[in-house]
Amino acid sequence: MLTIFKKIFTWWNVDTFGTRLKTILFGKFAGSDSFGNKYYESKNGKRWVIYADEIDASKIPVEWYSWMHFTPNKIEKKHELDKYDWQKPHKPNPTGTEQAYYPNKNKENAINKKYKSWKF
């Protein structure tokens, strides 16, 4: 029961009732990516994504990002692009999470090494 209310009244939990209705009535399935995101296109050319879990635009891989923004790419011809050995897999932006990059783990120690306060 709670999930039905979440779907109807909150836009930050996967997709809302309106998005689901639009997808069912007007959306043509274009494909999905390795994260489980599903991509749709309407007859008049509008494109949208239904995220697998948390809504975050940085979770769209580069192939589908170019498709979403109408940038010509190989994704138009085939949905699985060949990856080279040196290419790393796509990762969402971790800013604001525990996986975020901090150049100095011990911030106070790094500040004390670089700068010293004046003593009066």
* Amino acid at the residue 14: V
Tens-place pLDDT, residues 30-74 = 999 888 999 999 999 999 999 887 788 888 888 888 888 888 765
Task: Report pLDDT for 88.
Answer: 82
Tokens of 68: 């979403």
Long-range contacts formed by 94-103: CB under 8 A, 24+ apart? none
Task: Report pLDDT for 78.
Answer: 54
Cβ count within 10 A of residue 33 = 20
Alpha carbons 109 and 95: distance in angstroms, whole number = 22
Cβ count within 10 A of residue 40 = 19
Tens-place pLDDT, residues 71-85 = 876 555 555 566 778
Alpha carbons 115 and 120: distance in angstroms, whole number = 16
3-state secondary structure of 75: helix
Task: Report pLDDT for 59.
Answer: 85
- Domain positions in the chain are 18-113
Task: Report pLDDT for 27.
Answer: 92
DSSP states of 89-108 as a string? PP----TTSTT---S-SSHH
**Average pLDDT of 23-29?**
91
Q: Is the pTM of this model over 0.85?
A: no
